[in-house]
Amino acid sequence: MLIDFEEKLRGKNILITGGLGFIGSNLALKLVSLNLKKIVLVDSCIKNLGSNLANVYDIKEKVEIYSGEEWDLRNKEKIKLLIKDADIIFNLAGSVSHIGSKEDPLFDFELNLKSHLQFLEACKECMKEGKKNLKIIYSGTRDQYGKVREEHLPVNEEYLIHEATDPQGINKNATEFFHFWYANHFKFDVVSLRLTNTYGPRHIMTDAGQGVLNWFIRQAMDNQTLELWGGGEQLRDFNFVDDVVEAMLMVAVSEKANNQAYNLGSFIKKSGLYGQIGNNVLSVGDVAKLVVRIAGNGKFVEIPYPADRKPLEPGHFYADASKIYNEIGWEPKTSIEQGIKNTIEFYKENKKKYWQ
């Protein structure tokens, strides 16, 4: 399904929260290539959460950037100034650290729930004051599903949570519900995309807790040892960031997507039958071995689970992305091999900007 993003987005004002982060900056780069009228990035630049001005250096003259503590989503009056002019908001702000949410649940609550309630209150006030149109694309997470029984894989959007793994998943799930509640009561549109293991260029590369595949890539490039906890047998699905950006744009311009939640993943039901698990669904161990082979550096070792990480392990997980494929036409295009190659090439050229 081919979609003319430029035509459908022409004349729209775009706002990206978390715009200096990993996915936000890749999205901004794609939007700039579409020659849109106005693209606004806002980011509070909280330390160690992934914001990096280097991410948008090449487009800084083509976007408006509002950064720093005063532009935190919890500063409702400031954020409201940006919402007033926005037609489409990609709400990507927050933390994705599982271990961080366990160590400091209150901080995770502030970032992944409270700040978004303040943001939604600002949206509500703008609508009450006469704003005509607003659409929000919210970045959810596979962690919303918690621990999933193996017989329930692949997980579809109707899966009922049996056991949460960490506060991040709890807060992100509540925030998704709040987005839909506010949209229903105050007459704007929302789409939630539940992301799973997104990797690629412009990712934070200084913290293992922010994403296993990118961390493996850093370790391999530095000729270090990749640790496979529990033998690395757990199945995961991985999405290259360009594919995630495409999904965001597709739902942004689709009326059919309004007020829907969609899984992103690489397991899709076609022609009435489930296909085989694709090459973007791999064990963590196989991913590590692939990274080492493509990088030509590093090695891996199997070790028991660290005591503090075992409770956070959800077991096997991969999402059923049939709904977004059938309704919107999205499916991942980038193989895991090509995505890893692209990511390594980017960091070879930009290592000084991310190895800090």
Q: What is the pLDDT of residue 5?
A: 78
* Dist. CA 126–CA 118, nearest whole Å: 12
* Dist. CA 325–CA 247, nearest whole Å: 10
The number of angstroms, rounded, from the C-alpha of 272 to the middle of its chain's C-alpha atoms is 29
Phi, psi of 65, deg, nearest 5: -120, 125
Fold that domain 10-201+238-279+318-334 belongs to in CATH: Rossmann fold (3.40.50)
* Sequence spans of domains, the chain: 10-201+238-279+318-334
Q: Calculate the alpha carbon distances from 36 to 8, 15, 28 in Å.
A: 10, 12, 11
If the chain, 356 residues long, is cut into consecutive pieces of 10 residues, what is the mean pLDDT of each piece? Answer: 77 96 98 91 94 96 97 97 97 91 94 98 98 97 93 93 92 98 98 96 83 93 91 90 97 97 90 53 92 96 73 78 94 95 97 87
- Measured between its terminal Cα atoms, the distance across the chain in Å is 41
Q: What is the pLDDT of residue 345?
A: 98
On whether the CB atoms of residues 27 and 16 are closer than 8 A, the answer is yes
User: Residue 191's beta-bridge partner residues?
Assistant: 137, 260
* Dist. CA 183–CA 257, nearest whole Å: 13
Helix, strand or coil, per DSSP, at residue 56: helix
Total-model pTM: 0.94
Q: What is the pLDDT of residue 207?
A: 75
Q: What is the pLDDT of residue 276?
A: 44
